[in-house]
């Protein structure tokens, strides 16, 4: 197993512990997006605890903010804070590790959680880079259910109008949202065409839980000039835990003790 995939599975173990202890969180989406976050934070983005105030660091926005547990997991493991503190205090009384990204937590650039804001924030950050002649890139992670929010399309227009090729969004396309299949709740089968129609460079990643494929996707996005890029990562909700995979009930399901033991066992088997 390659080191990135191994890392993503180690992070899955932390996510499960965080969610099991707190009885809160969005486990299905965390497990679909974690490979994306692992590739971005360990390979693609120029970010680290040491450069977190450097004006030239890359910027990251978690637009699907409900999957903050996955973000805490990757930031904790990258050394932005003591990961045990996040695991112990996720969603706890008076904790800074609340259920959506907030800037009290080191490494989080902007508050988020209300859907449909991420691309607009990214447009602002990418425009600032162009205005200042800085080379940093801005990365935004979106959920597929979130694409029903209209403000996304305002932001998509602006990103292509200003030719923001320093902006790279990723769509965590797992096909499920809280009420069911995304295509049934609000059709999204043509999301790739929608981004193209709005003037974006579209990079398809057929297996968005495969770190090698993701890395190749980000490389193509970075090399593309003149347009913003969207990496459409086809993922599996609940990826890595057999009884959670592709089940809408695990959008924010709470594990029993038996389910937790089973889930951790499946993750550890992959790591062996």
Partner 1 sequence: MNNITNRQVICDVLLEAAKKDKDILVVCSDSRGSASLAPFAEQYPEQFIELGIAEQNLVTVSAGLASCGKKVFAASPASFLSTRSYEQAKVDVAYSETNVTLIGISGGVSYGALGMTHHSCQDIAAMAALPGMRVYLPSDRFQTARLIKALLMDEKPAYVRVSRSATEDVNEENIEFTLNKANVISEGTDAVIIACGEMVPYAIKAQKKLEEKGISAGVIDMYCIKPIDKEAIIKAAQHTKLVVTAEEHSPFGGLGSIIAQIISANCPRKVINLALPDGHIIAGNNHEIFQYYGLDDEGIVKAIEKELE
Q: Does 194 bind partner 1 (CB under 8 A)?
A: no
Query: What is the distance between the alpha carbons of residues 32 and 12, in angstroms, rounded to a whole number?
Result: 10
Q: How far is the CB of 71 from partner 1 (least distance, A)?
A: 16
Footprint (CB under 8 A) of partner 1, residues 45-74: 55, 59
**Sequence-separated (6 or more) residues with CB below 8 Å from residue 16:** 27, 241, 255, 260, 263, 264, 267
Of 94 and 242, which has the nearer Cβ to partner 1?
A: 94
SS3 of 145-178: the string is HHHHCCHHHHHHHHHHHCCCCCEEEEEEECCEEC
Q: Does 148 bind partner 1 (CB under 8 A)?
A: no
Query: What is the distance between the alpha carbons of residues 197 and 156, in angstroms, rounded to a whole number?
Result: 10
Site string (153-192) toward partner 1, x via CB under 8 A: -xx-xx--x-------------------------------
Q: Per the structure block, which two tokens stand in for 125?
A: 């950050």
Q: Does 125 bind partner 1 (CB under 8 A)?
A: yes
Of 159 and 171, which has the nearer Cβ to partner 1?
A: 159
State phi, psi for 209 to the nearest 5 degrees.
Answer: -105, 10
Q: Does 131 bind partner 1 (CB under 8 A)?
A: yes
Please, what is the angle between helix 118-132 and helix 151-161, to 10°?
20
In which region does residue 25 sit, left (phi positive, over 0), alpha (psi from -120 to 50) or beta (all else)? left
Q: How far is the CB of 107 from partner 1 (least distance, A)?
A: 14
Stretch that binds partner 1, among 1-9, 103-111, 216-224, 260-268 (CB under 8 A): 103-111
Residues that bind partner 1 (CB under 8 A): 55, 59, 103, 109-114, 117, 120-125, 127-129, 131-132, 150-151, 154-155, 157-158, 161
């Amino acid at each position: 197993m390659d080191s990135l995939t191994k890392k993503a599975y180690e992070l899955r173990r932390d996510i499960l512990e965080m969610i099991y202890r707190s009885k809160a969180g969005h486990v299905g989406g965390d497990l679909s997006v974690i490979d994306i976050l692992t590739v971005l934070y360990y390979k693609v983005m120029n970010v680290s605890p040491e450069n977190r105030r450097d004006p030239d660091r890359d910027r990251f926005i978690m637009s699907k903010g409900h999957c903050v547990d996955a973000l805490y997991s990757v930031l904790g493991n990258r050394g932005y804070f003591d990961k045990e503190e996040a695991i112990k205090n996720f969603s706890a009384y008076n904790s800074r590790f609340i259920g959506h990204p907030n800037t009290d937590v080191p490494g989080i650039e902007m508050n988020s959680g209300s859907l449909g804001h991420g691309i607009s924030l990214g447009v602002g950050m990418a425009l600032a880079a162009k205005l200042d002649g800085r080379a940093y890139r801005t990365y935004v992670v979106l959920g597929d259910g979130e694409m029903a929010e209209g403000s996304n399309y305002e932001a998509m227009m602006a990103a292509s109008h200003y030719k923001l090729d320093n902006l790279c969004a990723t769509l965590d396309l797992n096909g499920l949202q809280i009420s069911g299949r995304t295509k049934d709740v609000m059709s999204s089968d043509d999301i790739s065409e929608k981004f193209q129609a709005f003037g974006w460079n579209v990079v398809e990643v057929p297996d968005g839980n495969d770190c090698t494929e993701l890395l190749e996707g980000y490389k193509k996005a970075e090399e593309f000039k003149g347009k913003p890029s969207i990496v459409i990562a086809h993922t599996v909700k609940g990826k890595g835990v057999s009884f959670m995979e592709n089940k809408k009930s695990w959008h924010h399901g709470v594990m029993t003790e038996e389910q937790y033991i089973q889930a951790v066992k499946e993750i550890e088997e992959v790591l062996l």
